[in-house]
Structure 1
Amino acid sequence: MSTLGPPSQRITVDADQVRRLVAEQFPRWADLPVRPVANGGWDNRTFHLGDAMTARLPSAAEYALAVDKEQRWLPVLAPLLPLPIPVPLAEGRPGADYPFAWSIHPWLAGEPARLERVADPVGFTADLAGFLAALRSIDTDGAPRPGKHNWFRGGTLRTFDDLVRRSLDGQDWAREVWQTALDAHWDGVESWFHGDVAEGNLLLADGELAAVIDFGTCGVGDPACDLAIAWTLLTGDGRRTFRERLAVDDAEWARGRGWALWKALGTYARTRGRDDREATEARRVLGEIRAEYLKS
C-alpha cells in the first residue's frame, strides 16, 4: 500500500458493537446509551456515550496510529491552549470484533464553523490565530514528527508532488501556485501544528469559536499546513488578519497556499461531475486560491 494512498481497508462499526466494547472494558459506563454522532467523521467512527462523552473508533489501521499519540499528548497540550480540546478520558483496546485501539473523549458541544454561522468574522479569525499561536509556542521536545500517523502533515509538500501534478488538469495558475509552494524555503524550526484546521474541526457556540477538535493529524514540524484554513474558510479581510496575527512571512504563506491547493484539488478530483455541497465548496476554494495568488 502506498503511504499516500487511501487506507487499505475501512471497517464499519455499529452502536451495538460499541456497547459491547464499553461493557467489557469500562463497566462503569455500561448503562449509558450509545448512538452515532451525526456527521461523525470519516477517519473515525464516533458515537455518543451518554450525554457527556463520545467513543471514537478509527475506521482503518492507518488512523489507529493516532490513538496513542492523542492519549499521550492531548493532556499535555490542553492546559496551554486558550480553547477546549478533547482530552481523552480513557483508552480502549481491541475487542467485540473490533481490531484497533480506540478512545473515549468528552463531548464538546458546538456546530461546525461554516462561514455563514460565524457571528464576527474578524473576531473569529483573531481567536483562531490566537489558538494556533499558542499551539506553536508549546515545547516540542519528544513530540511526534511527520509520518504515517498524520499522513505526513508538517513535512515537505514534495511528498505530494506526484499526486498534485496528476490533478492539475492544465490549470497553469495552479501549477504556478504549486511550484511556488515547493520552492518556498522553510528554516527548519519545528513547532506544533494541528494538521487539519477545517470547518468541521472548529466548533462554534453562539457564532464564536468555542473549541478545536480532532487532533489525529497533529505533530511537530513545518506549521504551514495549518494555514490552509485561510483559503478554505476565511474571507479576504480574514486572511489578512490571520496572517498578521501569526506573523507569517512570504515563504510560509506560499507553503500554506500549497497545502490549501493540495486539499482543494484532491476534493475537486474526487467530486468531479457532482453538484453537491462538497463539489461546490472545492470549486469555491480553488477560486479563492487563484484570486488571492494573482493579487499577490
Structure 2
Amino acid sequence: MDFKLTRFAPTPSGFLHLGNLYSFLVTKALAEKTGAKILLRIDDLDRERYKSEYVQDIFDTLEFMEISYDVGPKTVQEFEQEWSQIHRMNNYLEVLEQIREKKLVFACDCTRKKIQQLDSSGYYLGHCQIRNIPLERAETCWRMDTFDTDFIKVKTFSEGVKSYTLPEDSAFFIVRKKDKLPAYQLTSVIDDVHYGVDLIVRGNDLLGSTLDQQILATSLGLTSFQEATFHHHHLLKGPKNKKLSKSEGATSIQFLRKEGKKPQDVYQILGDMIGSKELIQDLESFKSSLSF
C-alpha cells in the first residue's frame, strides 16, 4: 500500500510532550513503510494560546530526535510568513459560506455551564437545534446538524473499511467558534485537502474527530478526504494511567533535554512506557516494536 503524503500536525499551545513525540514516530514509521512523504503542518489558529516559542520547540524537538520531514517550514520566521493557517483563512471562510448555503449548521449560544446543566454527561445534545437562532447573532457558534447521521465509514490502515456510529461527545460539533473563527474540525479537513494528505495518523482519542471530519467531508463532497486512510494509534499514559498533556511539564521533551537526556534515553523512556520487551534506543528498534 503506497501513499503520497502524511503529516505531523502539532498545535503550538505548549511544549511538546512524549505523547506528541510518540505520534510523530508512529507517523514516521508508517511513512517509511508506505513511501509517503511527510508534511509538517502546524495548527496555529488558537491565537490565545499561540506563542512563537512553542513553534520553535517543535523544530527543536524534531531536530533533537533527528526526525526528518519533506515538506513544510524550517524556522519560526518561515512558518509565520508562509505556512501559518492565517494565510489560508480565505479557504476556511469560503467553506463556511458553503456550509451556510447548504443549511448544514445551526447557531448555538450555550455556555459550558449551561450544557452541563442541560445534561449531566456534559455532552451537547442539540439543545439549540430547534431554537432557530440567527446565524449572525453575536456570541453564537455554528454547530453541524448531525441528528440524522448514519453509519460513518473510515478507511483504516490495518483493518480495511470500518463503520462507526457517532458517539454523543462528537455530535453537533462546532465548525465556527463564537469569535467567528473557523474551528479545528473544519480547518483540519480543509488543510488536508489543500495539501493532498492521503494518510492520517493520530491517537485513539481523536477517533471522534475523524468521524466528525468525515461527516464534514461527505457533506461538502470532498472525496479526497473521504478516501484518505487513517491509523489511530494507542495513547501513551502517564502516572495513574492519565493521558499526557502539555501542562505536565515533566513529560515535555524540552524538560528531558534540559535534564541532559540524549535521544537514546528518550527512546528508552518511550519503550518503558509502551511496555516493550525489547530495548528501544533508536528509530529502527522503535519501528520493530510496532505492529501495523
Query: Into which bin does the TM-score normalised by the smaller protein fall?
Result: under 0.3
* TM-score (normalised: structure 2): 0.27
* TM-score (normalised: structure 1): 0.27
Which one scores higher on RCO, CA 8 angstroms, separation ≥ 6? 2
